Structure 1
C-alpha cells in the first residue's frame, strides 16, 4: 500500500515505489543530482543508441515503472542543458503521469536543433517532478462572478 506520512518538522513526505524493469539493472532509478534540486533525473534505457534527426521525435524508455499515492502526479520536463546545447526537449511538456498508471515511464523527446543527436544508454534525458493534485469539484453554472479582466484573453494585459 502506498501512503503519505508525516516527517518531523511538519513536512509531508510521500512514498513513491519504483520497479526496475527486467534487463535494466544498470539503469539508475530517478535521483536528484544536488541537495536542493527540484527534479529527479531520468536515464535512457535504450537497448542501442538512438539517433534523433532534426525535427524528429521518439519515445525513449526509462526502464522503470512506479506507483505513487493518488494525491500526486509526476511531471516530465526537459533538462535545460540538453535543450540549450543541443535543442533536445520534451514534447507535451510537462507531460503528466497519473497516479494510477503502472506501465513503463517513457519520455517523448524531440530534436529542435540543427544537427542529429544520439541518445545512448544511461544518458540523462529528462527530469521528473512530483506535484500535489488538489481535490476539485466541477460545478456547472449559468453565471460567473465578474472580474476587472473579464473575458480579456491573449495579450490583454499588454505583456
Structure 2
C-alpha cells in the first residue's frame, strides 16, 4: 500500500484527537487522526492530501487519493448547525485537488462566537490507529505542514 503524508488543513496548535470535545472524534469512531485548534481570523482550509473531493459540505470535506485513502476534515464541532453561514466553499464535489489547495474559507472566531468549538479534526477514514505514524499532537503547525503519515 502507498504511504500518504497528511498535512494540516489549517494553521494552529496540534492536539491529540482525544482532546476533541465530541466523542465521535475523541474516541476515533470514524477513524484515527490529529486535531488542530486553529488560529483566529478568517483563513482558508486547504486539502490535506492530493486527490478527489468525494464529500463536500460548508463545514466539512473528504479528499480521497488514487488508492482510495480518504481524509475527513471537519471545521469545528457541531458547525453543521450553522447551515453554511460563515463558510465559503471554493471547490465542487468531484474536483481533483492538490495538497495545500484552498477548499473552504472560514473564520474560527465566528464559530466560537456562535457557541461552537472551532477545533478541526483531521481523520484517516477506515484506518487502524497502527497505520498512522509520525503523529504531530502538540505544538504549532502551519497549513500544509505534515500532521501524520498513513501507511
TM bracket (short chain) = 0.3 to 0.5
Q: Which has the higher contact order (CA 8 A, sep 6+)?
A: 2
TM-score by length of 2: 0.34
TM-score by length of 1: 0.33
